[in-house]
Amino acid sequence: MSESEINKRLKRLEESGICSCEKAAGYADELKGLAENGISMMDAEMKSKIFRALADATRLRVLGLLKAREMCVCEVMVALNLTQPTASHHLRILENVGLVEDRKRGKWVFYRLSDPNLTENLLRLKVS
């Protein structure tokens, strides 16, 4: 955001009585500090990637399967009636955000939850 845009917004705060003209610059710094202490931009970006990964019903079902036990792509395909490329795509997205990890055994790749406790809590969320 440009300096002039920030000044316009600070002027609106002054006019509303939220802060005084003498304290506007300090107030802006205080607000910026609160934003950084709440969650950094880098942390927010990573968490938004996780939420985007969780925003797909198939990926939630994959997590539900892996909650039961470690599985290879073929097992995920059969359980959810997916093609191999589709199952691999969903597993790769979950792996890229750290929710799933893989283990290679020969030509086979097995997937499991990277943090079963975290995933358990995510899957237990109630939506009304």
CATH topology of domain 45-124: Arc Repressor Mutant, subunit A (1.10.10)
* Secondary structure of residue 93 in the 3-state scheme: helix
Q: What is the 8-class DSSP label of residue 17?
A: T
The answer on pLDDT for 107 being more than 70 is yes
The confidence band for 26, taking pLDDT boundaries of 50, 70 and 90, is confident
Whole-number average pLDDT of the chain: 84
The answer on pLDDT for 125 being more than 70 is no
Amino acid at 77: M
Higher-pLDDT residue of 2 and 63 is 63
The two structure tokens encoding residue 69:
């036990």
| Mean pLDDT value of segment 69-83 | 95
pLDDT of residue 22: 62
pLDDT of residue 34: 79
pLDDT in tens, 42-68: 888 988 998 999 999 999 999 999 999
Q: Is the dihedral of CA 68, 120, 89, 105 positive or negative?
A: negative
Domain with CATH 1.10.10.10 in the chain: 45-124
The answer on pLDDT for 5 being more than 80 is no
